[in-house]
Every structure is written in structure tokens, then in C-alpha cells.
Structure 1
Amino acid sequence: MATDKRDYYEVLGVGRTATDEEIKRAYRKLAVKFHPDKNPDDPHAEEKFKELGEAYDVLMDADKRAAYDRFGHAAFVQGSAGFGAGGFHDPFEIFREVFGGSGFGGGIFETFFGGSPGGRADDRRRGSDLRYDMEIKLEEAAFGAEKTIEIEKLDSCDKCHGSGAEAGSRRVTCTTCGGRGQVISSRGFFQISQTCPRCHGAGEVIEKPCQKCRGEGRVEELSRIKVKVPAGIREGTRLRSPGNGEAGIAGGPAGDLYVVIHIKEHDVFHREVDDLYCEVPIPFSVAALGGETDVPTLEGKAQLKVPA
């Protein structure tokens, strides 16, 4: 029964006003903690892991989250007045998407145990997605508009062009791990493989790191981004701007920017779905006998016939 389910915000340990980034951060922390591969002797771990995936799936989707906020779990019960049937994604697929491929860096083994079954990891990582809440006028929502927003974010370093290296410098084999990306230590009868602390699993290090970005390949800057608002857009719609999130690390791909639309209240009109409503006072004689009166529209005045 849907009513037996825990509140999705409670599952992830976030407030009802949590941003996408806060939700993602909470999921990443808890999903690693309760992953079945990390808890083979805990019969409840997989159930908890699936619950986390379901909560993340709903709260990271603008439409599903709006339906859940309004109807609760009933929104995802077939035949209810809410969003419709469930349609949740596979929790293990969600985990792979969030952590990139099979996990962070070298994969699930890298995340849990500090090592990777396949050797060295690629240090080029995708940048984070960003959210920007933008307020627009009712007229802009109706007819569409092009807006320019300013946002502080990590952009590709213009000195090293995102490489993280000074001009003329190059990547060289890490001397700590010999290019393997891992170091092996012995503890009694066991050998433990861990991510190299110097190259962080890449197997290579930059000979001379860029002084401006300190080898990361990105710096925090104020960016101006143009956003096209389509005509007829609704409150809470999330617009995706590919590649305008934070720059990737060490030349990795940039994340995406998600612009969430909020429509200002209008002095004259209020909107219900795609219709506009307003109140217009008319003389008693027109109300009794019929006639014509001027009414406001978003494009100016129009004449309306009033029946007797």
C-alpha cells in the first residue's frame, strides 16, 4: 500500500525545500552506505537501497516532485487523481547514473574500498549540474522571452584551457604508484590495494600545475547565460541548458544548467492552466440591458459583448 511508505524527504533526510544539489548529495551519501554489495550480511540493506532510489527518482523529477508534494504517495497509484502509475527507474541504474558508469572514478570498488578492479582511473570527471530559479512576468510566460542570467560557477580555466597544466608542461607517470593508479600495502597475510594518494588513481601527474587554477582546470567566475523561455510556459517548468553547468575536472565534460521558472503574480490577471481570469466592473445599465464594455488583455484593450 502506498500509505505504508515513508515520506520521500524523510528517506533522504532533506527538507521539503531542498534543492536538486542537496537531494543529490544526500542520495550519494546514503546510497553508498546502504548498497547491497557493501552490506552482504544485512537483509534490510537492499530494501533501504531501493527506497533511496525511489525517493531520488521522484524528487529529482520536477513533474513527479510537484505531484508528490500535492498528493503524496497516492500520486503514483494507478487510477489516482495524481500523477499516474508509478514508473520508477531501476535503483541500481540510478546509482550507476549518479556515480557515472559503474561508480565513482574506478567504479563501485573505488567508492567503497579505495581501489578499482580494473587498474588506474581516469581523473577527467564531469562537472556538476546546477539549478537556477528564475522569476518572469506573466506576459513573458504567455508570449515567450529571451532572458540573460548571471550565475557564479566553476568555469574552464582560461589560462590552461581546462588542462590544469602550465604552458609547456605535460603529464608524467606518477612515481608513487608507477603509473598503476594504485598502491599495495601488506597487512599480515593480506595485500590491500588502495587508490594512489598522489595521482588519485589517474596514474599520471601534471609536471607543472597551472598557477591560476592549481591544476584543477577550472576557476570560479561570474557567467552570463542566455535562456530562451518558450511561449505558454507554466509555473515550475524546468528548462535544461546543456553544458552550462560547472566545468568538468581536468578537461572532463561540463554539467548542465537547469532553470526553474517561477511566474510573478499579476496585478490584473490570475492564471488557471492556460486560461486568464480578471474581474471587470460594468454599469448596472449594461448588466441589465446588455451592451459592450472594454476589457483588458495582455496585448491591450478589447471589446466584450455583454448579454442582457
Structure 2
Amino acid sequence: MINSTQVSYFTFGAYFNIGLFKYLFFLIIMCFYAVIICANLLLIVVICKNRSLHEPMYLFLCSLFVNELYGSTGLFPFLLVQILSDIHTIYAPFCFLQIYCLYTYAAIQFINLSIMSYDRYLAICYPLQYNTRMTYKKVAMLIAVTWLVPLIGVAVTISLSVPLQLCGNIINKVYCDNYLVVKLACSDTRVNNIYGLCYTVISIIIPLLLILYTYIKIFKVCYSGSKQTRQKAVSTCTPHLASLLNFSFSCLFEIVQSRFDMSNVPIMLRIILSLYFLTCQPIFNPLMFGLQMTKIRSLCKSLFFGKM
């Protein structure tokens, strides 16, 4: 039996020898990371620099873009090193650090999207009371909750996983996953499973239920309201709903791959599916919100072409 003090590193079992193609994949991943950094930083600067965007909706968007940078940094630099490496291993402390970054990123994303749906619900269903219900103090509190709950919750998850006695050190992915680490345990994992279920309810199920409730209310108002109300709802909710569906389906791919036997699926497809929610969402959000929201689009144009 190998206990946790003797497991000094983990080995990734999803990598395979691609020869010189690894340099091509390195360039592709590097381009993805560069686009994510540039797109999200651009929108953060635009929102922070322009006082006309210091409204609740755009402040929640800024929090979303900061989270995209945070989650991407937890994956891409390490992934780039692994692509060029011949030995795909990671020291245990760095593995748990990566788990912490990626799990907090996913939880912050869900909570942030649920708060954005609540903000749109107030703006559409209670337009006259919006400014009194969504004050800057309340915005600051909601953003703090968005970040603090995952940061504390995942810290507890990691603290329960680190002491486990492990019977192996092979993780069948291209990055660290807490669920797969717990599956390697020889010791009792009931506490991990119970806490994991409770934390999933708090960080994912409750936000999704809140989103469902707010959209039901928004659709009711749109159905009984004027054409102008419907147009406002469509213009503000479309990018949010698209982002939510994209992230939810990508997380579903990730859960299916972790929980079920995917040995019949080609390994390259499994790698692409496992990286989807960490790669496409940070690119999808800036493009969707930047192109769909008129204020952001016009300010981006003026930033680059104003002097011309």
C-alpha cells in the first residue's frame, strides 16, 4: 500500500507519443492562450477605464473575465510544459494547486452566471426599482460571495484529499482532477464523498436553480409585456444564456469522462472534450459579450479607431 506521504508525484496517463506533432500542438495551445489573455484583458480594461460601464451588469462581467484569466492560468502554462515534455509527471503539491485553481474557476463561473441572471431578472421584471434593489454595496457583496464561497469550499475539498492513503499515482487525464485522485485512495473516502455532494449542491445545483427561476420569471414578463420589453430581454439575456449553455454542456462532457468508462472513445477526442470547458469558455465569453453588447462594442472600436 502506498500512503499519501510516499506519493511525491502523479503521472498523467492520457498523454501519448505524437512525435514532432507536439510542436504543432504547442503552437496551437499557445495561440489559444494568447487569444484568451488578450481578449479578456481588453474587456477588463475597457470596463474599468470607462465610467459609463461602471454599472452592475458590467461589473459582474468584469468579474467573469477576471475568472477566465484565473482559470486559464491554472491550466495553460502547465499544459504547454507537458506537451513538450517526454515524462508527463507532476509533483503532488503542484497537482493539488492545479486542482484548487480549476475547481474554484468552475464554481466561480457558475455562481457568477447565476448572479448575472439575477441582475437581469431585476432589470427586466422590476425596472423602476432596479437602482434601489441593486445598489453598489449589494454588487460588491455579491462579487465577494462569488469568489469567497468557492475559494473556501475548494480549500476544504483539498484538505480532505491530501491526507488520503493512495494505492497508485496514475491520473488518466492531461491535468489533475480531484475525483480521480480520490479514486486512487485505499482508505475510507466517505467524508470526501459526502462533502463533495454537499459542496456540489451549494456551488452548482443552487446557482442553476436560481438561473432557472429567474429565466422563468423573465419569460413570463416577456410573454405578457410590450415588444420593447421583449427586445430588451433578448439583447441582454442572449449572450448570458449562450454562455451558460456552453459552460454547462462542457462541464457535462467533463463529468461524463471522469465518471464513466471512455476507453472505447479515441484518446484524442477524450483529450479535446476534457479541455473544452477550460479552453472554449474563456474565448467564447469575450467574443459573445463583446460582440453582442452595444456599449462594449462601441467603446472597443473607439479605443482602437477613435483617433483615426
Structure with more of its chain in helix, by fraction: 2
TM-score by structure 1 length? Answer: 0.28
Counting strand residues as a fraction of each chain, which structure ranks higher? Answer: 1
Larger radius of gyration: 1
